[in-house]
Amino acid sequence: MPSGYRIEWIAPVTMLQNKYTNLVLWLALLFGGMLRFIPGVLTDFPVNDGGMLLAMIRDLQSNGFVLPSVTSYNSLDIPFAYPPLGLYVAAFVSDKLSIPELELLRWLPPLVSTAIILVFYWLAHRILNSKSRAVIATLFYALTPGASDWLIMGGGLTRSFGILFSLLAIGCVYDLFRGDESKTTIGLAILFCALAVLSHPEVGLQTAGICFLFWAYYGRNAAGIKNAALVALGTAFLTAPWWLAVLHYHGFAPFWSAIHTGIREKTLASLYHTFFSTQGGLPILPLFGLVGMFAVLRRREFLLVFWALLPFLIDPRNAPAIVIFPLLMLVSEGLYYLNKELIRAASETFPNSGNAGRYLSGLAQASLAIILVYLLYVSYASIPNLVAISLSRSDRETMEWVKENTPPQSRFLLITNTGNISPMIDSYQEWFPVLAERQSQNTLQGREWLLGSGFFEYSQALVALQGCPDAGCLNNWLEEKNVQVDFVLAQKQHVSHALIDSLRANEHYDLVYETVGAEIFAFRP
């Protein structure tokens, strides 16, 4: 058999034929966009979090779009040190188009998150140098369960902008260190790096780390050092109006406090959970991702592997949202490698079969389609879980009652779970200060800018509070922590009946409000 014969029928066989890539890309955008918008359609309120951002948006509007010194959120004088780009976008759009801020927190995050799908394809095409492999990686990003959950929530207003500009910055920096030193590329790299820093604190830090990785991999020469310095100085210059204002108001204290809230001791646990998580019970990403790692390491190409590991060293808490992109590129590499090896084995086993490659190509594409349909199904089936963690109408009615029927200076203690939920992701506790317009003594949001190294000790104390079985435990906690409260609010469906009964029977608590969802007690010390 002539040596060129085998190549003749193997060459066209790929996981995804080039003539279909544009169609598949638009299908990824369509179905990925649907998955990102449906949660907002099924609820009349932003998904999960966003309460502190709502207060900060309104602070910008009431301050004439000048960065305030502190935010009004929860009456704690929290420094307004949060990167403000997404907040300014929402405040400006709400002001100019008369769109309620809550509606923007409901719809802007899924809109930006959908745009990320296209930006990821643009980046993956550069890194993988293959249109078909980039489209496969994009398909997985569009459909993988949980890939965008944190971006479409109310708090995703800042997270989604951060990821969007981070990917754009990474792509431009990649081009820059690979030899495109045009003024346009340098300018775009500076612009997108600055926008990433101005969007989200952790994403800005991760973007800087990944850009440094690209410099270490491609730019360790005189031109690379010069361009890296230009990007760093340009980014510092464009972001200066924000960080200089914060330094003027508060010095470095808020930034120093936020730096000390990283969960360093959970690096390995976060890495393991991210790399070996299952999708609907099937280890799809771990399987193909590990094969992809083997394939690129075999070719002595280390960039994607380093990129997938570095974020866990920088900030383990935020790393999963960052490494999903190199991980999915490795998944695409793994699928491509398995497909190629399968065809090679078939060509050696059936050297005289001219149709073997065609059959295997069809089998590979059918298998890929089945996997993607399964991921689509699992993602769609998980949407009710997202809707369930949003504030219900009953929750909001309770907060409205508090706003209208309690003194403005009232201090509340919120008992909203049994200690099984991190106080940082408890949506009821986050939304209460802005919707009820009363101070919550145990809401954690915003304290990362105040407590520094004491943040996690305080967080654990709040977890212990939620685990209190009776009124006596609450009283002891209040006395031990020297916390003053006027009312205690208990979410009936999320706390134990024994605690509710104990509050009713205790002489220090008078029931003043009751619905099917909550009870409020006036506290008489």
d(CA 123, CA 142): 14
| pLDDT given for residue 6 in this prediction | 36
| pLDDT given for residue 365 in this prediction | 78
| pLDDT given for residue 10 in this prediction | 36
| Span 128-143, pLDDT tens digits | 999 999 999 999 999 9
* The amino acid at 446: G
Q: Is the pLDDT of residue 7 over 50?
A: no
| pLDDT given for residue 2 in this prediction | 37
Question: Which range is least confidently modeled, 2-16, 197-211, 422-436?
Answer: 2-16
Q: Is the pLDDT of residue 8 over 70?
A: no
DSSP letters for 465-505? HHT--SHHHHHHHHHHHT---SEEEEETTTS-HHHHHHHHH
Q: Are 521 and 487 in contact (CB under 8 A)?
A: yes
| pLDDT given for residue 5 in this prediction | 33
Q: Are 444 and 462 in contact (CB under 8 A)?
A: yes
Q: What's the whole-number mean pLDDT along residues 188-193?
A: 98
- The position carrying tokens 């009821």 is 428
* The amino acid at 421: I
The confidence band for 98, taking pLDDT boundaries of 50, 70 and 90, is: very high
The confidence band for 316, taking pLDDT boundaries of 50, 70 and 90, is: confident
d(CA 76, CA 73): 7
| Span 467-510, pLDDT tens digits | 999 999 999 999 999 999 999 999 988 888 899 999 999 999 99
Q: Are 510 and 524 in contact (CB under 8 A)?
A: yes
| pLDDT given for residue 350 in this prediction | 67
| Span 32-82, pLDDT tens digits | 999 999 999 999 999 999 999 999 999 999 999 999 999 999 999 999 999
Choice between 357 and 302, residue whose per-residue pLDDT is larger = 302
| pLDDT given for residue 263 in this prediction | 55
407 Cβ contact partners less than 8 Å away, ≥ 6 residues apart: 486
Check the CA dihedral 134-138-144-148 and report its sign. Answer: positive
Task: Specify which of 173-177, 420-424, 496-500 reaches the highest per-range mean pLDDT.
Answer: 173-177
The confidence band for 420, taking pLDDT boundaries of 50, 70 and 90, is: confident
The confidence band for 218, taking pLDDT boundaries of 50, 70 and 90, is: very high
> Mean pLDDT for the chain?
90
pTM of the predicted protein model: 0.92
DSSP letters for 61-129? HHTTTSPPSEE-GGGS-EE--S--HHHHHHHHHHHHH---HHHHHHHHHHHHHHHHHHHHHHHHHHHH-
Q: What's the whole-number mean pLDDT along residues 448-473?
A: 91
| pLDDT given for residue 21 in this prediction | 84
What Cα–Cα distance (Å) separates residue 323 from each residue in 113, 129, 159, 310, 459?
A: 16, 19, 14, 9, 26
